[in-house]
Amino acid sequence: MKTFISEKHQNEAIASLKTILSYPSYLQEDDETPFGKDIQAVLEKTLEITEGLGFRTYIDPDGYYGYAEIGEGEELFAVLCHLDVVPPGNLTLWDSKPFEPIIKDGYIIARGTEDDKGPTMAALYAVKALLDAGETLNKRVRFIFGVDEENLWRCLGRYNEKEEKATMGFAPDSTFPVTFAEKGLLQVKMRSQETSAYTLKAGGAMNVVPEDAAYEGEWVEAIAAELDQLGFKYERNGNAVNVKGKSVHSKNAPDGINAIVRLAKAIGAHDDNKVLAFLRDVVQEDARGLAIFGEVQDEASGMLTLNAATLSIEENETVLGLDIRYPVTIEKDFIVEKLETAAEKAGLIYEEYDFIAPLYVPLDHPLVENLMAVYQEKTGDMSEALVSGGATFARTMDNCVAFGAQLPQSEATLHGPNERVALADFYQSMDIYAEALYRLTCEK
């Protein structure tokens, strides 16, 4: 195998990464852009960077996506990336400012280093290294930059309405070696139209287990006492109490601690709100959804997971947001039927918010075989291909899979405080991407 990545490529990739990490590109919709000015700005800056590397670029006039392409030929190899991030969360849990990237103790630290700006730059500069080595592309390589991945995927939805689909490709937005199957994703809202003497908002992105859930009002003493009785962690500040959980990605919901559910259990003794009762008695602290679905799992992709992601209590309505990841062999209709039954029993209104069908590319597909071979030869790790509860842009096109960039031995910090990636891991992922793209897109 050739070695394409030089120290110069490493340094250039880190410099560009630090630039795009400085944009707080989480969803903040306004009247001028579909997803917020910072998202629009990071998309424009990224395309500027790719132009400097020799790519041809295009930006959707409405700001839904952009792409950078290089090479010639009828076939199109896509690298499916996203430049939006989840919000930083509780800033007091960060040791540095989330949008002022720093390098410390061998890590680069900022929101987006793992998900997905770091992997994006690693793959981009891998292509640059191939070109610098004099390699000739035998097909067009197109980096497609989505900007609504952490929410409703409206970016790639618009791309697929207007643009050319890939022949094959990968999303650098998961874990090595190769994710050949991804669970179905269903996000729903459960509503109750009842009055409330107080308001409450908790949770952020639908794909994050909430780490904080705060109540402020006249019941604060009683709720604090209930939290003490339950043994739940919280912080008290005057007439407010903030329940503490543990934030993880929704795909790993059983590994988190859901602050919304815990707050609902404490409030429940004082409020007969139907959504709170549903959280307390049905959702409970079971991230598998057993009380709703029963035992749902398959041999190919494991168990169903359930995350109570958001809660909003207003004067005349309460809304709960749920994120469900279900096994690849299970039909969506089964999941919906169980949810509708649970909602009806609890006196709630069921509403579908988002749905993404499962992904499956056979293990003997040339794309999977090539990517697996590269990873195994580069690392010596003979791990098998993966199934994930996460959802990547690989689902948006045929013959695409998720490929890296997190290494199996590395800590997953995406969506949490102090998101970071080891420089050594970043450089290794560049090396893996360069070899993979060489085998799949270059003349031999």
Residues acting as catalytic residues: 84, 149
Q: Name the 3-class secondary structure at 410.
A: coil
Query: Which residue reads 């191939």 in tokens?
Result: 130
- Return d(Cα 423, Cα 309) in angstroms, integer: 32
Contact 97, 104 (CB under 8 A): no
- Return d(Cα 68, Cα 124) in angstroms, integer: 10
Torsion, Cα 156 209 180 441, to 10 degrees, reads 50
Nearest C-alpha neighbor of 302 from the set 324, 285, 325, 323: 325
- Return d(Cα 293, Cα 409) in angstroms, integer: 33
Contact 102, 193 (CB under 8 A): no
Per DSSP, which regions of 134-239 are E strands? Answer: 140-146, 168-171, 174-175, 178-182, 184-192, 200-202, 212-216, 234-237
For the chain, give the longest Cα–Cα distance: 72
| The length of the chain, given as a count of residues | 444
Residue 54: how many CB atoms within 10 A of its CB? Answer: 11
Task: Order the strands of the 200-202 sheet from edge to edge.
Answer: 200-202, 305-313, 318-326, 184-192, 349-356
Per DSSP, which regions of 314-417 are E strands? Answer: 318-326, 349-356, 359-360, 386-388, 400-403, 405-406
- Return d(Cα 9, Cα 348) in angstroms, integer: 55
- Return d(Cα 298, Cα 281) in angstroms, integer: 26
Strand 168-171 vs strand 400-403: parallel, antiparallel, or unpaired? Answer: parallel
Contact 132, 439 (CB under 8 A): no
Strand 386-388 vs strand 200-202: parallel, antiparallel, or unpaired? Answer: unpaired
SS (H, E, C) 268-290: CCCCCCHHHHHHHHHHCCCCCCH
